Amino acid sequence: MTVPQSNNGEASPAVPEELQENVWITTIAKFLDPIYNWTRRNSLWPLGFGLACCAIEMICAASSRFDFARFGMEVFRATPRQADVMIISGTVTKKMVPTIVRLYNQMAEPRYVIAMGACASGGGPFKEGYSVVDGIDKFLPVDVYIPGCPPTPQALLNGMIAMQEKIDQQSIATVPWYRKDDPLTELVPIPLLGPDLVDLRQVELIKSEAAKANAETAVEEAILA
């Protein structure tokens, strides 16, 4: 047992000297954080949700040879309500992104997002295409990016372990989901499918662009008239 210490690292004067060997004074957060994080890091349940090629490697990582289960990650949940981490395993298309954002919103906090592979991280080889979202981080906050096309199961495992290390750093006192009005806990607005994908956070920009374009057309028409 370490010598009881106050927050600033000095021996606590409130404890009599003979008891200092047996008493440990700490803050609730310092005491709870390791337990809180230990429980969460060792039961990272992913959402059972495959998008594209990377999903195959994700399944391999969960199967006989690589065996996620060693790290407590094997319980793929079919419903977002029971999942802790969403592995974006493949190309995010415009048609799919409203569903993905909705699933993210349905996940209970704490929730994490891993962008697996080149497509999920930034569009990958399909970035130039018209129906591809160039990176899921345009819509969701991403915790871990895993490079590769597709990343090997080992790379995914490494990414998941990085996720665990990130969880270890968190403190119950500062995590956003126990704080009032933290912007990080707000639901992400679900994008709409119009002539192209509409991000509701950009509606004002779209409107101003449209107004500009209309004004230009009016000027052109006036000149022609």
Partner 1 sequence: MNQESIDAPTQQSVAETAVAKLKERFPDVVSDDPRQGYSGLIVQPNALVEVAQALRDDLGFDYLTSVTGVDLIDDGKLESVYHVTSIEQGGKPLVLKAQVERDNAILPSVYSVWPGAEFQEREAYDMFGIRYDNHPDLRRILTWDEFEGYPLRKDWQEPYFEDTHKPFGSRWPAGEVRRAEETNIYGRNVQYPKGWVPTGKEYEVETDTYQGVYVEADGVPGLKTDKITVNLGPQHPSTHGVFRMVVELDGETVVGLKPVMGYLHRNHEKIGERNTFLMNMPYTDRLDYISSMSNNHGYAIAVEELLDIKVAERAEWLRILVVELTRIINHLWALGFLLNDMGALQTPMLYYYVERELILDFFEELAGARMMCNYMRFGGVAYDLPDNVRGTETMKFLHDMIYDRLPRVMDQGDGLMTGNEIVRERGIGYGTLSREDAIAYSAAGPLLRASGVAYDIRRADPYSYYEHLDFDVAVRYNGDIFDRYMIRVDEMRQSLRILEQVLPFLEETAGAPIFDGKPQHALRPKQPAEAYGHVENPKGELGFYVTAQKRISSPTRYHVRAPSFINLTVLEKMSMGHKVADIVAILGSIDIVLGEVDR
Q: Which stretch binds partner 1 (CB under 8 A): 15-23, 37-45, 126-134, 178-186?
A: 126-134
Tell me if 193 contacts partner 1 by CB under 8 A: yes
Q: Name, in order, each residue with C-beta under 8 angstroms of 212's C-beta and a sequence gap of 6 or more.
A: none
Tell me if 131 contacts partner 1 by CB under 8 A: yes
Q: Distance between CA 107 and CA 83 in Å, rounded?
A: 6
CB-based contact 147:122 (threshold 8 Å) = no
Q: How far is the CB of 131 from partner 1 (least distance, A)?
A: 5
From the list 99, 141, 182, 186, which residue makes contact with partner 1 (rule: CB under 8 A)?
99
Tell me if 172 contacts partner 1 by CB under 8 A: no
Q: How far is the CB of 93 from partner 1 (least distance, A)?
A: 6
Contacts 24+ apart (CB under 8 A), 176-183: 177/109, 177/110
Tell me if 203 contacts partner 1 by CB under 8 A: yes
Q: What are the Cα distances from residue 91, in Å, to 97, 151, 197?
A: 10, 13, 15
Tell me if 205 contacts partner 1 by CB under 8 A: yes
Q: Distance between CA 216 and CA 23 in Å, rounded?
A: 76
From the list 150, 163, 164, 175, which residue makes contact with partner 1 (rule: CB under 8 A)?
150
User: Crossing angle, helix 153-168 and helix 28-41, to 10 degrees?
Assistant: 160
Tell me if 110 contacts partner 1 by CB under 8 A: no
CB-based contact 66:154 (threshold 8 Å) = yes
Q: How far is the CB of 202 from partner 1 (least distance, A)?
A: 6
Give contact residues for partner 1 (rule: CB under 8 A): 48-53, 55-57, 60, 63-65, 76, 78, 90-91, 93, 95-96, 98-99, 103, 123, 125-134, 138, 149-150, 152, 190, 192-199, 202-203, 205-207, 209-210, 213-214, 217
